[in-house]
Amino acid sequence: MITDLFRKDNEELYETSIVQQSAYWSSVKQHLGYKTIAVNYSTKASSLFRNSEQDKNLVSDLLVIIQQINQYHSIAYVPYGPEIEPDEELQGSFLEELSESLRSQLPIGCIMIRYDLHWESYWAKDKSNFDEQGHWIGEPLLSAQEFRFNYNTLNWNFEKAQSNILPSNTVFVNLRKSPDDLLSSMKPKTRYNIKLASRKNVEVKMMGIENLPIWYKLYQDTATRNGIYVDQMSYFETVLSTRAADTLSPAEVFLLVAEQNTVPLAAMFLIISSKRASYLYGASSSKNRNTMATYALQWEAMKFSKAKGCTEYDMFGVAPRPEPTHPMYGLYKFKVGFGGSIHHSLGCWDYPLIEDKYNFFRATELNGQGFHIN
């Protein structure tokens, strides 16, 4: 199934709408101290798609991030990859063979490969998994998930990770529509809030890296309000300043700030990779929230992305369904209001490479402890 797998320069990663599989993202991670690996591989179309008319070779690639967990051991993390998405019944066998082919390219002490899959969840394709209001019910028990994922594999080695790293539920907005049609697709409250922000003289401006402290102050406010982990400003500086323009898969990153009378009220990182724009990070002030600055920010970002030639806009992370107890319920209500479609992905799956070390790692993850091997 997998043929001609070989390492290549990270700069040669192919153009992709998945920014986490781009040369740009590799460069970001390298600047943050991670080792990254890029590999090319070929596979027959018939081994990926049952109804393939021609048994031609398909060539793709993969970005792998190596994360050290102690002096001797590491894990290989694949963010939103592989990009190529086989037919459902062939996914496990494809990923199994890819994993075994990757083994020789990874550090000796690498205990597992963790795939953060962006492939659509099996349980999001069946109408019986949605309630009467059309809301997704979610995945079945872990044992049922693993049985289905490992179907057609040789060794049944894949295990569902305890949690996902990147968002496994998101909202995609179709930017092929005209601005008027985009507005018409939104919920009435969202359209109203966009117009209200305009009446309250909210302006959205593009700012440079010299204005990063404006972002960071809003970000700290947001993190404190929601009780979330606070990244260092140097992290955002790296994301904003990296471009990878001399590669096959660069990205454009923009800092957008919504102001009222020069007072910053909301800000976001907008990233464009190929034809997709993504709302990567957002922040807002705890003050003057009745200005609806966050709505103006998203609307201007969508119009700007469309003007840049993007065909879709990724809202990047929502709760899987409207549950008031879910920590991302507020984001769900906000983001679905912009009229996109919800995508439920498979999330993180582990392929152990060193069984005993992986089992110990999994146990420490369950207990929220650090990983230590003497």
- Would you list the domain boundaries of the chain? 2-167+345-366, 176-310
Q: How far is CA 322 from the centre of its chain?
A: 20
Q: What is the model's pLDDT at position 170?
A: 97
Q: What is the model's pLDDT at position 81?
A: 97
Taking the alpha carbons of 144, 146, 149, 153 in that order, is the dihedral positive or negative? negative
Helix (H) / strand (E) containing 357:
helix 355-366
Q: What is the model's pLDDT at position 374?
A: 38
* Domains 2-167+345-366 and 176-310 fall in the same CATH topology: yes
* Of the candidate ranges 103-117, 132-146, 196-210, the one whose mean pLDDT is the lowest: 132-146
176-310 has which fold? Aminopeptidase (3.40.630)
Per-residue pLDDT at 54 exceeds 90: no
Q: Name residue 174's amino acid.
A: N
Distances (CA, A) of 234 to 6, 216, 223, 266: 33, 10, 16, 20
The Cα 24–Cα 29 span in angstroms is: 9
Q: How much is the pTM?
A: 0.94
115-149, pLDDT tens digit by residue?
A: 999 999 999 998 899 999 999 999 999 999 999 99
**β-pairing, 312-314 with 276-284?**
parallel
Pseudo-torsion of CA 280, 285, 288, 293, nearest 10°?
A: -10
Report residue 81: phi and psi, to 5°.
-135, 165
Model confidence at 111, in pLDDT bands (50, 70, 90)? very high
The Cα 119–Cα 166 span in angstroms is: 13
Give me the DSSP letters along 201-251.
Answer: TEEEEEE-GGGHHHHHHHHHHHHHHHT-----HHHHHHHHH---TTSSS--
67-99, pLDDT tens digit by residue?
A: 999 999 999 999 999 999 999 999 999 999 999
Q: Which tokens sit at 314?
A: 């990724």
Query: Which CATH architecture best describes the domain 2-167+345-366?
Result: 3-Layer(aba) Sandwich (3.40)
